[in-house]
Amino acid sequence: MRTTSRLLHFILASFFLLGLGARTGAAQNLRRFPSHVVSSVNTYNENRAIDNDASTKAQLAPSVLAGGAALKLGYSSTNPVGSKAGLLVESGGLLALGAFNGLVINTYLAPSTTPQETMYLSQLLSLQVLNSGPATAEFTVTKPFDQIELGTGGVLNAYTLGLALAYADVPAPLPVELVAFSGKATPRGVQLSWQTATELQSAYFAVERATGADATEFVEIGRLAAAGTSSQARSYQFTDATPSLLGYYRLRQVDADGEAHHSPVVAVRPAPAAQLAAYPSPVATTLFVINPSEAALQVLNSQGQVVQHVAVVAGRQQLDVSLLPIGIYYLRDATTGQSTRFVKAGGN
């Protein structure tokens, strides 16, 4: 039952990688730190929040008279969707629930002053965790940003909040960004197509086909050279001329340093082979022959003896059978073994 479910999943989900940005390999992150202070309100030692030192911290000190406090930090480049935004914060004393609920993290994309996303610290941390020492608040962004802000509204009790550092974990570029991989049945076999958005020191693509029905073991059936390093979209095609009844395929992308990554699996059922055909039957003089490819054909009599040899091109053409005696004959493709029967009649 498990094998049947797995096969159904592959068949239903195989023909396209939906959406852009499907990548070979496992994602890794690059950590970026803010490079400058954009603005601050009721904050002290702002530069300690951008020194990348967790042992030093800026202090947000809301004033009862002047209202809240905020510290906005800027990055030297934009952090893309999918990055993780993080802050290392510490309470300067026992923080009350009211103050904790007012702490907010905003992300911005300059020059706009409208937040891209807003996240309350209470969504990421508990008051108990924050009161017990330094704590990391982290979330994955759904919009790009190049500024991050920690802020709070004014409250009646006096407290300080330390911001030791901020960071953004950005997905590192992988050797190949695969945006599509599909397969389709054609008269010549299974045609596999794939496209890449970018490539970085990519050596080649190995096309692999499953050896069993459960698609867990694969063997290489072909190889195409990759673009190497490219920032432009690239397209590739490979045809499996001898497909199985239901084929499972994947790509093994190999980097210049030998590291390999696999694509998702696609499943393709080959198209039925085109058939050799001949008409009319009975026929007196001219037999029309349809063959899917170039072939050497033989005309055999009812005793299996070859009485005529014919070379045909792909498609439809005529064959003169006027000199054949009346009887039953077979037209056979010497390469594939396909045959079709016709009756030779007399007269014109």
- What pLDDT, on a 0 to 100 scale, did the predictor assign at position 121? 92
- What pLDDT, on a 0 to 100 scale, did the predictor assign at position 221? 95
- What pLDDT, on a 0 to 100 scale, did the predictor assign at position 20? 31
Q: What is the pLDDT along the chain (348 residues), one digit of tens a residue?
A: 444 334 333 333 333 333 333 444 444 578 999 999 999 999 999 999 999 999 999 999 887 666 789 999 999 999 988 889 999 999 887 888 878 888 999 999 999 999 999 999 999 999 999 989 999 999 999 999 999 999 987 654 567 889 999 999 987 666 788 889 999 988 778 999 999 988 988 999 999 998 876 677 899 999 999 999 988 999 999 999 888 778 899 999 999 888 888 888 888 887 665 678 888 999 999 988 887 767 788 899 988 899 988 877 767 788 889 999 999 999 888 777 788 899 999 865
The Cα angle at residue 279 between residues 276 and 281, in degrees rounded to 5? 125
- What pLDDT, on a 0 to 100 scale, did the predictor assign at position 1? 40
What are the angstrom distances between the C-alpha of 238 and each of 28, 183, 202, 216? 30, 9, 18, 21
- Tell me which residue of 245, 315, 290 sits closest to 11, measured CA to CA: 245
- What pLDDT, on a 0 to 100 scale, did the predictor assign at position 347? 66
Cβ atoms of 49 and 42 closer than 8 Å: no
3-state secondary structure 218-235: EEEEEEEEEEEEECCCEE
- What pLDDT, on a 0 to 100 scale, did the predictor assign at position 86? 95
pLDDT in tens, 246-264: 889 999 999 988 888 888 8
Residue position matching structure tokens 């006027």: 322
Q: Give backbone dihedrals phi and psi of 216, rounded to 5 degrees, phi first.
A: -110, -20
- Tell me which residue of 155, 161, 162 sits closest to 64, measured CA to CA: 155
* Per-position b or e across 316-326, b if 16+ CB within 10 A of its CB: eeebebeebee
Structural domains in the chain, CATH included, are: 2-24+174-268 (2.60.40.10), 29-171 (2.60.120.260), 277-344 (2.60.40.3080)
Question: How do beta strands 58-60 and 135-140 pair?
Answer: unpaired
Q: What number of other Cβ atoms are within 10 A of residue 4's Cβ?
A: 9
- What pLDDT, on a 0 to 100 scale, did the predictor assign at position 200? 86
- What pLDDT, on a 0 to 100 scale, did the predictor assign at position 177? 83
Q: Cα separation of 95 and 158, whole Å?
A: 9
Q: Cα separation of 272 and 189, whole Å?
A: 10
- What pLDDT, on a 0 to 100 scale, did the predictor assign at position 10? 36
> Which two tokens mark 11?
């068949």
**Model confidence, pTM:** 0.49
What are the angstrom distances between the C-alpha of 82 and each of 92, 123, 262? 32, 18, 22
Q: Cα separation of 195 and 237, whole Å?
A: 9
